[in-house]
Structure 1
Amino acid sequence: MRQSRWTPSIVPSIGDQNVYLVLDCFERSGCAWREADAGKTDLETVIRDLMSGQYNDPQRVIAFNTFEHWADDVSEGVARSGDAPTQPTKISHHPSRTSWCDTPAETNSTI
């Protein structure tokens, strides 16, 4: 009997598509990348959800495309988007968080 060497892929074939995810913060739970239906991760849906208040405290919008092998923080572009002329989007750097590059390097004076 002939044995096939083909095995099915566990990676879904969604093709060349940009995906947008929102980092949302919650008072007591911290921050999390919000769960999203695969068909609702396009830019227009994310902007519509942001404008309609679907997020608690959005911090960042990340776009990626696994087919093209890229990812980018698109928060500023989404916040300035002309698709949302009636209200400003609520995306900003959370004041209680500092980046590793904002923190001065520690020195060891005991050496």
Structure 2
Amino acid sequence: MPEGTLITVEVDAAEVERRLRAGEITCPSCAGVLTGWGFGRRRRLWGMGEALIEVQPRRTRCSSCARTHVLLQRADGVEVVGTALEAKAQGAGIGGSPPVWAVRRRRFGAG
């Protein structure tokens, strides 16, 4: 894999840090252990309701192959994705319940 690979992890930054410190996140290039190596730029994620959560992705470096990676937190919280999938399965569109923020056209084809 090329330098600068994005690895999707959970939304909870404290849990990501715990896993990183414990050596539980492995390099997708060589299966070595990833270690902390700074942070990426801040971004906003959707939470439940109309809340936005601000996160700062963690940059990492592999202790074996020295490649760098960014731990990219999911674009939506688990609650939002679950709610949206359930609503989509029940035939809800973007104007139904849950509201527009939960069943987004770009992700779930609602409309």
**TM-score normalised according to structure 2 size:** 0.27
**TM-score normalised according to structure 1 size:** 0.27
Larger strand percent: 2
Question: Which has the higher Rg, Structure 1 or Structure 2?
Answer: 1
Larger helix percent: 2
